[in-house]
Chain A
Amino acid sequence: MNLKIHVWRQKSREAEGGFVTYSADAISPDASFLEMLDVVNERLMEKGEESIHFEHDCREGICGSCGMMINGVAHGSRGNGLATCQLHMRHFKDGDEIWIEPWRARAFPVIKDLIVDRGGLDKIIQAGGYISVNTGSAPEANMLLVPKAVQERAMDAAACIQCGACVAQCPNGAAQLFTSAKVSHLGLLPQGQPERKERVLKMVAVMEEMFGSCTLYGECEAVCPKEISIDFIGRMNRDYLAASVTTAKKEKVET
């Protein structure tokens, strides 16, 4: 198939960016979207032009490295549970024009072309997205019983790959879906109870500081490659409220 692609090119964080149009001819419908970009890049470099930079690694939809806005949609397809690397060219038609941009969010500055800095998400994890247990101090695993339904629900939340699509698609650039997935994963499990209140307060504080606010557009859920439910946001809000009113020293919780 023959396509026309308009790609956001930007040399560095400070540099001015803009769309550049390339033709992507003789592309196999069986190629993945990233393989289409590989082909375009090989041709560009043969002509002496620098390749389009984009982040990617496992190409199996699990590492969370890849991600771009494709025709305005994070990862390029709504409701299919696909990361960019899993999107195949057969989803497009011969002659299509495709607009490709980096994640668009204030919290994700562009590093080069389609690569952005998603470091803010790690900061949210650092604020409390863990269970404090040192190596070696764990009790026998089966001493702790976890109902199957609870474990399944925790796993639904834990499936997040931290790609940032939720933030990129959100008109507010909010990171509620990401944060709530981790708050819920740990907060649902019995192991996560001792730190549950402190965790949600700390993580939300960092999230609010770095990202936009949630006004329940629901765009995040629609593009999440792991189909993480927006219900977790409700759950996080409930936890946050409960923690706020029951934690006396909440103003002093450091972030």
Chain B
Amino acid sequence: MELKSKIPPGPLAEKWSKAKATYKLVNPANKRKYDIIVVGAGLAGASAAASLGELGYNVKCFVFHDSPRRAHSIAAQGGINAAKNYRNDGDSVYRLFYDTIKGGDYRAREANVYRLAELSVNIIDQAVAQGVPFAREYGGQLENRSFGGVQVSRTFYARGQTGQQLLLGAFQALERQIALGTVKQYNRHEMLDLVVVDGHAKGIVTRNLVTGKIEAHSADAVVLGTGGYVNVFYLSTNAKASNATAIWRAYKRGAAFANPCYTQIHPTCIPQSGDYQSKLTLMSESLRNDGRIWVPKAQKDTRPVKQIPEAERDYFLERKYPSFGNLAPRDIASRAAKEVCDEGRGVGPSGRGVFLDFADAIKRLGRSAIEERYGNLFDMYHDITAENPYETPMRIYPAPHYSMGGTWVDYNLMSTIPGCYVIGEANFSDHGANRLGASALMQGLADGYFVLPVSIGDYLAGQMGKKVAADTPAFTDAIASVQDRTSRLLSAKGSRTVDSFHRELGTIMWDYCGMARTDEGLRKARTMITELREQYWRDVKVLGTGEEPNQSLEKAGRVADFFELAELMCIDALHREESAGGHFRSEYQEEGEAKRNDDKFLYVAAWEYTGEGSEPRLNKEPLEYEEVKLATRSYK
């Protein structure tokens, strides 16, 4: 497999203009002759589907939810970055580009990240025109706030519901196109396979989640905006149904999967409280501005908080990172919390938790100031735990939150299967080994509004009249293989539920491929995953039939794919013998900090499927840094 990144030549700041100037175009009158399938309607998918519809293409948009507005983008809280420099604090496109490259621990493509920073300003304009109610100053201008690890204020936000409001903007644009007839919306349809004809993506196979009907849909191009895969850990901050099936099916049809081991563990989540736990809830990172993180110095110290004297508390982030303290970046803060819990000093019933204490801040600023800043978060914490964080410290613990890895795409967002585009969190492109806060929304919308609708024309211009009908063998074969898989899951009639397997898989991944990874642990995990997967296909219990709404069956297919992805994550993590961003290999550290190896690993690892039971093939896309000098991140 040859990886052609298709990065335009020339100076960094001119690459995107150059690309747009050289793309082939589709004549406006011809656009309606092209069918484009968009799968997923989060920020990336909805903005792409709406924009493609506006351009005049025939769009078919598929989501497994009852409405496109349910996509998990809706749960994003904090904000969206843009290099507007409204605060006159020295921000610029270049600075946003630089912060993102550095935040990603030098494992992202310069050209993509620069384009992202350039487009960030257009996203804000677009969203405001759509009526997104961003926070305002008293003079009526847009308000900004600062966000983790950055020295300028460039984050735009709509209370704690920025993702919701941006998604509604895109959703409403999509609904408008549906009403105009340019987009045909398929709700409650789950994509279960990608159809490839003569090397080109020509359609998908879906299951209607109400009738169970398995159908084929053909098109001139397929766009996947299906989100991230950290639900492989079972417990994560992702919505329950978020899954990797669409990008995994694409992988098995020939789309290389890049950097699967780059996953982000967010430090401030509410810890697990029991075996019934179904997901973990994120508490905004902003709490670390005023909260102090600590654990008792002694192991298994179960005294009530107030009886633990100051001298017997370990403010471990302040101790280890005096200059950044409690505001150390996500990956560092998460690992430090894990370490103290591993030492037996964790708090709470499970021993997997650390305190986030506001007592000092309340003493210093008064309760009302804290209430004004964090009132809604304190209420949310109280609803879930029944503990009052004004009186007693919050307990937090890291949880899987975001996947930087994903389908490999070139500069035009096309995967290694011509005609198959992947956008948003589902691709690997812009965040390297670690994503900065408030950058996910920016990337999803840049891809969907501004990059894909333009870049896809370059491919489509050469595809006139090459559509393949949905009753040809490639489609009927794909339908047959989906049906076969579905009936295998239904006919196993084993003894264990899908969730019980998923939980077990999640525990393996969390223990061995989570915040800290070792050669030995990853090898062990691979063996355990293979054994469990084998047992899964033999012993899974899926009741009901395929011809009706069947939530167990839906989950069963997703978990089956998570098993395979989990194995690839371990393979990737094992091969990357360095620590970078969210990928921490315990063997590669210097004084407890991540140690990159730029000589050996300055590349994107794009894994190629080579068949059932055969090892995936590693393809390398070298990362060339022309603009930025490689450096070590230090937070001490």
Contacts and interface: CB of A to CB of B under 8 A. Distances in A.
Interface of A: 11-12, 27-28, 30-32, 34-36, 38-39, 42, 45-46, 48-51, 53, 55-60, 62-65, 82, 86, 88, 90, 111-112, 115, 117-119, 121-122, 125-127, 129-142, 144-148, 151, 154-155, 158-159, 161-162, 185-186, 189, 191-192
B109 interface: no
B266 interface: no
Interface of B: 47, 50-51, 54, 65-67, 69-70, 72, 74-75, 84, 86, 122, 124-131, 133-142, 158-159, 161, 164-165, 168, 171-173, 175-176, 178-179, 187, 210, 239-241, 273-274, 276-279, 281, 383-386, 449-450, 453, 497, 499-500, 541, 543-544, 548-549, 551-552
B552 A45 contact: yes
A127 B541 CA distance: 44
B497 A139 contact: no
A53 B69 CA distance: 21
A121 B67 contact: yes
A144 B125 CA distance: 10
A163 to B, nearest CB: 10
A112 B276 contact: no
A132 B54 CA distance: 11
B497 A162 contact: no
Contacts of B171: 125
B548 A12 contact: yes
Given A42-B497, A65-B66, A135-B450, 12 more contacts: A30-B385, A56-B240, A62-B75, A118-B67, A122-B67, A129-B175, A135-B126, A138-B129, A141-B129, A146-B140, A148-B140, A191-B131
Given A30-B386, A35-B278, A142-B142, A63 B125 contact: no
Given A30-B273, A35-B276, A62-B75, A126 B125 contact: no
18 contacts: A27-B276, A28-B276, A30-B274, A36-B276, A39-B276, A45-B497, A62-B75, A63-B74, A86-B384, A111-B549, A122-B175, A133-B126, A138-B126, A141-B127, A146-B140, A155-B158, A158-B158, A161-B164
Nearest to A54: B551
A34 to B, nearest CB: 7
Given A63-B239, A88-B383, A90-B386, A51 B552 contact: yes
A230 B239 CA distance: 30
B176 A132 contact: yes
B133 A185 contact: yes
Given A50-B544, A112-B548, A57 B70 contact: yes
Given A131-B172, A135-B453, A148-B140, A28 B159 contact: no
A155 B133 contact: yes
Q: Is the interface of A mostly helix, strand, loop or mixed?
A: loop
A82 B383 CA distance: 9
Contacts of B161: 62, 159
Given A58-B75, A62-B164, A64-B70, A145 B139 contact: yes
Contacts of B67: 118-119, 121-122, 162
Contact of B141 (A36, A137, A142): A142
Q: Which of B50, B134, B140, B171 has the most CB of A within 10 A?
A: B140
A154 B128 CA distance: 13
Nearest to B86: A142
A53 B549 contact: yes
Contact of A115 (B240, B549, B552): B549
A41 B303 CA distance: 37
Nearest to B495: A46
Contact of A191 (B84, B130, B168): B130
B65 A135 contact: no
Contact of A140 (B72, B125, B239): B125
- Across chains A and B, which 3 residue pairs bring their CB atoms closest together, nearest first? A145-B140, A138-B129, A130-B172
A123 to B, nearest CB: 9
B129 A133 contact: yes
Contacts of A38: 276, 278, 499
B239 A58 contact: yes
